Amino acid sequence: MELHQDENKVKEWAEANPQSLGLNRSKIEAKYIWNPGGFVNQSYRITDGQTIRHLKLSQERKATRLKQWVMINEHLTHNYKAPRLIGEVTQEITSGYSYGLVFDFIEGKPLGSISDPLPIIEKVLKSLHRLHADKEIRMAVASEDKDYNYADAFTDEYITRFEEDLQIIRAERHLLDFVTTDTLDWFDTEVEALRIMVSQHPSFQRKATDIVHNDINWQNILVDNNNDFWIIDWDDLTVFGDAAMDYSVLLWPLYKSKDWAYCKDLVIDLAGRAILERIEFYFRAKLLDDVIDVLADYIDAEHVPELKEMAQKRAKEIHLRAYPEYLRLYAR
């Protein structure tokens, strides 16, 4: 990926389509937005100095979820504080990215950067609870029923990701001088153990019919100066999911903190006590994600020279912090 070249390509595309973007052609600038979660999609901030747009580009193999977002975008905007859709992109602007969406740019700070996130978290929890049972989304998205339980949902969201990450990590093992071969073997063993535990646990045997955002981390919740919030990045939404996934990702930064008991009570009031068993497994997987997935991000950063140092530093720090914590909590 040549970052500056891609920014120029996006600028040229925007200059050729100013009316559909609502921008002044003569003043357009485009800037790449780094997503700390990885490099699967590309995002750009496009502006003419007054109006700002957000461009999200996807590879063809990942475009299905973005196209799903188009189907329900008005409903998500009106009911769940999603950004307003401006239009679709059906041409290849940057190499390998053949589909995209343009949104209003949300001027806000990530939830993690505000001093008191709890009031926002309470509001988001209530929104998620409504989302999880939203019949209108189900009717729009679910073309057929699916024989799929909570264990399958967990496997798709975490186990499959870990297995794909480990393939990348082993193929580029030479880049990770801080990870030993024994550690990689332990990763394989732990992922398989987690898969078996979830597949056999009674709380994961129910049919998975929750509508879930699936990536409701604090980077995807933006807060403005008036303490209004928006939820972004809806391309992982599924109607065959587990509400425990959303609750766990949102509340993970508070797990084991002084605020966890209060947040746990909020979840119980909304979703019942039974969901807590699954949330505990999701917390475990979330910590393992900080151990494994960031190593794949570290490797992916090799292809983005302008961001390599910053992205790899972040990935290594997260791994070295999360790995001993995971061993402390879960190693037998």
Euclidean distance between CA atoms 85 and 155, whole angstroms: 31
pTM for this model (two decimals): 0.94
Euclidean distance between CA atoms 308 and 311, whole angstroms: 5
| Longest pairwise C-alpha distance within the chain | 63
- pLDDT score for 39: 72
Tokens of 302: 């090799």
Q: In terms of Cα–Cα distance, which of 211, 84, 73 is closest to 142?
A: 211
- pLDDT score for 327: 96
- pLDDT score for 60: 86
- pLDDT score for 154: 98
Report, as ranges of residue numbers, the positions in the chain whose pLDDT lies below 70. Answer: 1, 332
Count CB atoms within 10 A of the CB of residue 181. Answer: 9
Euclidean distance between CA atoms 318 and 185, whole angstroms: 20
- Render pLDDT for 141-190 as a digit per residue (tens, 0 to 9): 987 778 899 999 999 999 999 999 999 999 999 999 999 999 999 999 99
Residues 6 or more apart whose CB falls under 8 angstroms from that of 318 comprise 290, 294
- pLDDT score for 1: 63
- pLDDT score for 146: 84
- pLDDT score for 303: 87
Q: In terms of Cα–Cα distance, which of 230, 212, 210 is closest to 220?
A: 230
- Sheet with 221-223, side-by-side order of all strands: 109-110, 221-223, 229-231
Euclidean distance between CA atoms 204 and 154, whole angstroms: 9
- pLDDT score for 331: 83
Q: Which residue has the tokens 């209108």?
A: 136
| Sequence letter at residue 25 | R
Q: Which residue has the tokens 């059906």?
A: 90
Q: What are the C-alpha distances in Å from 210 to residues 125, 149, 259, 286?
A: 14, 10, 26, 19
Q: Which residue has the tokens 């949902």?
A: 153
For the purposes of burial, counting CB atoms within 10 Å of the CB of 86, is it exposed (0-12), middle (13-18) or buried (19 or more)? middle
Q: Which residue has the tokens 């006590």?
A: 273
Q: What are phi and psi of 97, to 5 degrees?
A: -115, 100
